[in-house]
Structure 1
Amino acid sequence: MRPLSALPTPSVASVSAFLPYPPPAAVAAKSFTPSPGPGPGPAAATAPQIRWAHASGAGPAMSSSASSAEGKDGGEFTEVVIVRHGETSWNASRIIQGHLDAELNDIGRQQAVAVAHRLSKEAKPVAIYSSDLKRAAETAQTIARICNLPNVVFDPALRERHIGDLQGMKLQDAATERPEAYKAFVSHKRNQQIPGGGESLDQLSERCVSCLYKIVEKHKGERIILVSHGGTIRELYRHASPTKPLHGKIHNTSVSVILVSDTTGRCIVKAVGDISHLQETGVLDNAFGGDKNSA
């Protein structure tokens, strides 16, 4: 019997207030080449800890349209709905994925369907963008199909952080087998790159924030969906709300919402990490990724 724990209440900010994270200067989007790697890893050896949504849990209210949200800017906002990909066997086994291309497992596919049905009942988005890694791509394609969107636009700038020499390793083995890379991975220095071609947090932030504004520029005043990864999503929220750190976890297929001013580019965090749609599938509380060491 797998232990259960109660779901934390999602963090929600009012439309006119900031919630969690420091905005790096936006730079030109960079192109990344997929790193070759093994397929999905083995099933977790220990019993996973499942976290379930409350049966009566309701997600944070979402505006019916992006233009209905007004803050101090007094203009229109683009509503960006950000979804983390569904669970993979590597998440369950606590394997560091980074740019390696693990697929969704059965639970992850169920989570993708659940979040897709949730989004299909809300205001229809005009477009859906996704990381081109399989776990995000399949999640996005499921959402597009159920929400009756014509296609998914794939952008490598929405990928997870590249973790260099640690990619494909279990977290518990990284400190002893790749000590230098592990030290860089857990470093608090945002300019610290990881040996083996890994990115620094600043580099990750620059590419994903630049991508966010590039997409918003195409869809001013509208509602769009981005499907990405735990580390990337945390950096987007760090940019959106620089004064408050994010202490919670961005679980698989959690829904977060950022409003971006069409006139000033100012961001407002409306909701963070909502998983009220996962009442039946639940989420692995001890799965790797989605926290400060996400990958």
Structure 2
Amino acid sequence: MSVLHTCSGVKPPRHSSLSSSESVNIPLGISFPTTKIILLHNGKTASTTHNLISTRFLTRRVKMAESLPLVISPSGSSSVDPAYCEIIVVRHGETGWNVDGRLQVADRLAKEFKISVVYSSDLNRALETARTIAKTCGGLEVIEDQDLRERHLGDLQGLVFSEAAKICPDAHKALASQRTDMEIPGGGESLDQLYKRCTTALQRIGRKHKGQRVAVVTHGGVIRALYKRACPNDKSGGKVLNTSVNIFQLSDAKKWILKTWGDVSHLSQTGVLLTGFGGNRTSG
């Protein structure tokens, strides 16, 4: 069973890459889960907030029928082309199920790559994964970056999803809007603002670490925006699974190359959350 998603819906050969250097518009369309979600933006865990809205869906754990394909560039742990920064973007692990998942992705990165530094969203669910990776990779520094946070949902933060439309109808309407420039009342971001924030952050990291390999731990919405930057002609990369590995190469000329997308082969032995808090537009 493969969860690899690539630009134009085609699986590339093992050594191929996909690139873009153009600015893009954010894709339209939004869907809502039938389950309750939690809109947390303060870094606190949601272990006792099952009745709150979240940027993530309820999950079910499934056993993988077979090992997922390892789709990695042949460079492995060797040096990075000095013209580029190679950034391994990982979606945070989910508290409550995947201590093993965090350890597995950390162990994989330590074995396969020589990482110079780890960046992370400053929200707890990302920091937990980032610290695990940093420790496993030899005690690396973790640099917290607020620009790697998930989309801020304004007045909807912390509300019960089933009651959001009644309590904050304007904010709920903004979240459901097909307009990518629609801001959510209460300080919430539009999809365009999210896109600009996180793509600018990754480009900044790329410039600072040219010729190096960096790990970045962040959230589903951020990673989807990065995918659109690298693959502007593709509508969607699909769901972004917890602890998935996504590898980008960035140059000073703002050329982005997507080398690996949605790789969770490190989870093939213990199971993976295929519906794991969605990984879609409203997930964290």
- Considering the TM-score relative to the shorter chain, is it more than 0.5? yes
Q: Which amino acid aligns with 1:115?
A: V
- Residue of structure 1 in register with 2:37 after alignment: none
Q: 1:166 to 1:281 in 2, by over 3 A?
A: farther
Conserved? CA contact 1:113–1:142, under 8 Å:
yes
The code of the aligned residue for 1:274 comes to D
Structure 1 residues 206 and 10, CA, compared in 2 at 3 Å: closer, same or farther? closer
Q: Distance in 2 between matches of 1:131 and 1:37?
A: 9
Q: CA deviation at 1:37?
A: 8.3
Superposed CA deviations along residues 74-130 of structure 1, whole A, max 9, x for unmatched, are x7321110000001xxxxxxxxxxxxxxxx22x232211110011111121111100
| TM-score (norm: length of structure 1) | 0.77
Amino acid corresponding to residue 277 of structure 2 in structure 1 = F
Residue 49 of structure 1 corresponds to 60
Structure 2 contact 23–232 (Cα < 8 Å) conserved: yes
Give the TM-score normalised by structure 2: 0.79
* Pairing of 1:219-230 with structure 2 (within 5 A): 219-230=209-220
Partner of 1:206: 196
Q: Which amino acid aligns with 1:292?
A: R
Which residue of 147, 150, 165 maps to 1:160? 150
The match for 1:58 is 69
Aligned mates of 1:67, 1:117 — CA distance in 2? 20
Cα pair distance change 1:242/1:35, threshold 3 Å = closer
Alignment equivalent of 1:40, drawn from 33, 41, 46: 46
Instruction: Measure the CA separation in 1 of the matches of 2:263 and 2:169.
Output: 35
Query: Matched residue of 1:257: which SS?
Result: strand
Aligned pairs for 1:93-132 within 5 A: 104-105=95-96, 107-132=97-122
Which residue is equivalent to 2:254? 265
Report the equivalent of 1:144: 134
Identity rate, percent: 41
Question: Shift of the alpha carbon at 1:178?
Answer: 3.1
AA of the residue aligned to 1:82 = V
Root-mean-square deviation over aligned CA pairs: 2.8
Q: CA separation of 1:133/1:7 partners in 2, compared to 1, >3 Å: closer, same or farther? A: same
Q: In the aligned structure 1, how far is the partner of 2:114 from the partner of 2:43?
A: 36
Q: What are the ranges of 5 or more consecutive residues in structure 1 without an aligned counterpart?
A: 1-5, 25-33, 69-74, 88-103
Kindly report which structure 2 residues correspond to 1:67-106, keeping only aligned pairs within 5 A, or say none. 67-68=80-81, 76-87=83-94, 104-105=95-96
Q: 1:15 to 1:138 in 2, by over 3 A?
A: same
Equivalent-residue separation in structure 1 for 2:58 and 2:199 (angstroms): 37
Shift of 1:167: 1.7
Cα distance change, pair 38–131 in 1 and its aligned pair in 2 (3 A): closer
- CA deviations 1:192-232 (Å, max 9, x no partner) are 11112111111111211111111111111211110000001
Give the match for residue 238 of structure 1.
228
1:76 and 1:166 mapped to 2: Cα distance? 42
Q: 1:82·1:233 contact (CA, 8 Å) conserved in 2?
A: yes
SS at match of 1:18: strand
Partners of 2:207 and 2:65 lie apart in 1 by: 37
SS of 2:267's equivalent in the other structure is coil
Gaps of 5+ in 2: 26-39, 52-56
How far did 1:172 drift? 4.3
**1:204 counterpart SS class:** helix
CA distance 1:147–1:39, shift in 2 (3 Å)? closer
1:67, 1:211 → 2: CA distance?
20
Q: 1:260 is paired with a residue of what secondary structure?
A: strand
